[in-house]
Amino acid sequence: MTEKLAPSSRHQYHHNGRVVYEWDQSFSEVNIYVPVPPGVTGKQLFVDIQTRHLRFGIKSTPAYLDSDLFAAVKVSESVWTLEDGVLHISLTKLEEGEPWRSAIAGHDLDPATQQEDQQRLMLERFQAEHPGFDFSQAKFNGQVPNPRTFMRDLDGPPPEEP
């Protein structure tokens, strides 16, 4: 049932009238998709993933993208692949469940789209915590809570006895 809550479309970042990259996110990952020129192989690319920074491009040319990420990632669990002419960079969130407003800092989504993503991530969390239920048609009324922090403190220490 979790696949029902997967991103149904990718967000696009445009510059000068063309798509620079597309991205989506799940509860634990952010995925960035970049078309590469025809004929470029994986051996010709460089991808440098740092905790809060991403840099990639074709070797011996200036970086195509050299920017800060929206939030921190687990470098050792983040990977990249090249398939069918698309560079796919899979970043594992350091703060699982934290909704990202953008993949790259400063390329923020509009507030309505941010709320849609946050709702989907919250439902993805509910689905993982309660696998026997189907949350794919659930909706929130009003502001959607942060999926990373919502009701996480309920398992804290018991109150002290008088």
Region of poorest pLDDT, from 5-14, 49-58, 120-129 = 5-14
For residue 42, is pLDDT > 90? yes
**Helical H runs in 42-105?**
none
What residues contact residue 76 under an 8 Å CB cut-off, 6+ apart? none
pTM of the model as a whole: 0.83
Q: Domain ranges for the chain, please list them.
A: 11-129
pLDDT digits (tens, 9 = 90+) for 114-131: 888 888 888 888 888 888
Average of pLDDT values for 45-62? 97
Name the percent of the chain lying above pLDDT 90: 62
Q: How far is CA 65 from the centre of its chain?
A: 17
CATH number, span 11-129: 2.60.40.790
Q: pLDDT higher for 110 or 144?
A: 110
Let me know: does 53 contact 29? Beta carbons within 8 Å.
Answer: no
Let me know: does 18 contact 31? Beta carbons within 8 Å.
Answer: no
- How many other CB atoms are there within 10 angstroms of residue 64's CB atom? 16
Cα(102)–Cα(104) distance, integer angstroms: 5
Q: pLDDT higher for 28 or 160?
A: 28
> In which order are the strands placed within the sheet that holds 11-15?
11-15, 18-25, 29-35, 86-92, 79-83
